[in-house]
Structure 1
């Protein structure tokens, strides 16, 4: 009888127990995180110990599995996997499938996680506030000068003016914009507001299901001139995404374009950083 057959006969192969655990925990996670968790197990845990009964998974075998992850330089991934496997063992103990958490003490046997470093910024090392502002303006100017789709430039301006995440701009819908007379887009709109639904915000399912979790972005005159951003508002398209309204190919159907804004920012920042700085007068 093979190890897999014995595990199935035993009723608790490690993979099956792990998937039960994942099903129970998934409602507490965002969709992206839930997918990331199961994918990490499928890549690094299930191929090596997934067929073993969970009660027969011993610490030396599990350490060997995690060491293989370390060997490819994925130190933080090895530590995350240990935490996830430990949580699976805790579930197994509660379900009467095993007696001990074999992953509990393995953290000390793994290599130390590299120290987290701050993401570099275009204003690093600049103390003068006016000079910092000048650098940021230079980046925005270089973004405008980049050769890219008009929609990408509009999106970058909107990110700069609202400080929302790129995904929120990418999925923005006309019916999220409130307080603007779309028949008179240039008229003053002191109550202009962008209401990003909780379901679109980054977070767990509890937040996504909470209507009070909507993210409210007040829109200043520069931001609320919607016709200037996207070229008009068809009355029949209230639920269309802003990208669709322009009749430009929807970036959601072109995955390679989803990081285009990031590429523009990277190139513009690089040009700004390499340019000689002069103190503002």
Structure 2
């Protein structure tokens, strides 16, 4: 009599394993521990063999019969079901071992020093932009269009530079796979020209966390006027344009509300900079010196404070610290924040773009309100300041909450 779901459910364990017969050589084996296993007895090349079909209830009676019928067809075609099952399992194991993610992580381990020095930047870029879609796929099965689809998602976030860097990293992973015999060629050159060119402001900047830590420690040791010291310390915390920083006016600061509100150069658009506790501490240190005048960073040549510091003050200070214009500029603090907030800390790109006072538009082309996401930007700016403190102290990367 064929098995039924009711009979299987009601089957009780006994002192010894026993069988409940179904049809066409299949049966249910009930173990003393209560385990229920579908088995199929068959003959192949004159030998009596048994195929393990599945465990009940993970494998239903209907599924077990379908697997049995597949095995019967394989036998008729001259295929041993048990050997075929082993071959499929081996193939899956090999596919998993040759997946893009496994190979990428293996490549990363071979470059441990670089992986660490970049504070997992390459790793995080792959984890965010590539692994979710291609991580489990055998690298030999990945096509250029598959990589491009991932890069388009990055591009749609407004981070074309990150898309280009992600492509470069994919190329390194593919070349490692070629060298280790897991794929035939690096397919990333096929995507040359597929992405729009990266557009940058072309100001030298430091964006590797380890080097940023060294820069911050150098700034802490800078010997100069109090105004230039404070401007240099504030620049990475607020990452506004250098001209807007040096021309900052006390009347635009509300330290109780933890905000700096001013009009962006040559526009009638007000920009809001949330102030971290670290930024406020710097301003409070400087206030007794320049608070009586108009400008926060007043020129030393005008005791009344009616002129701001010169255009070259910050770049000159960086040069004195050993950071020439080909290494780091005052404008470079913006690229530093933009890159690390996105690629290392995973902050939402629209939050970052708003804070950089870049034009941010919705899908209909309308400009977003400058106050958009202000509470989140307050949180981001405090988290950024805390992160910089952690870098400076030699701590591990501080993780932000994952972007929505």
TM-score (norm 2): 0.32
Structure with greater proportional helix content = 1
Relative to total residues, which structure has the larger strand share, 1 or 2? 2
TM-score normalised by structure 1 residue count: 0.44
Query: Which structure has the greater CA radius of gyration?
Result: 2
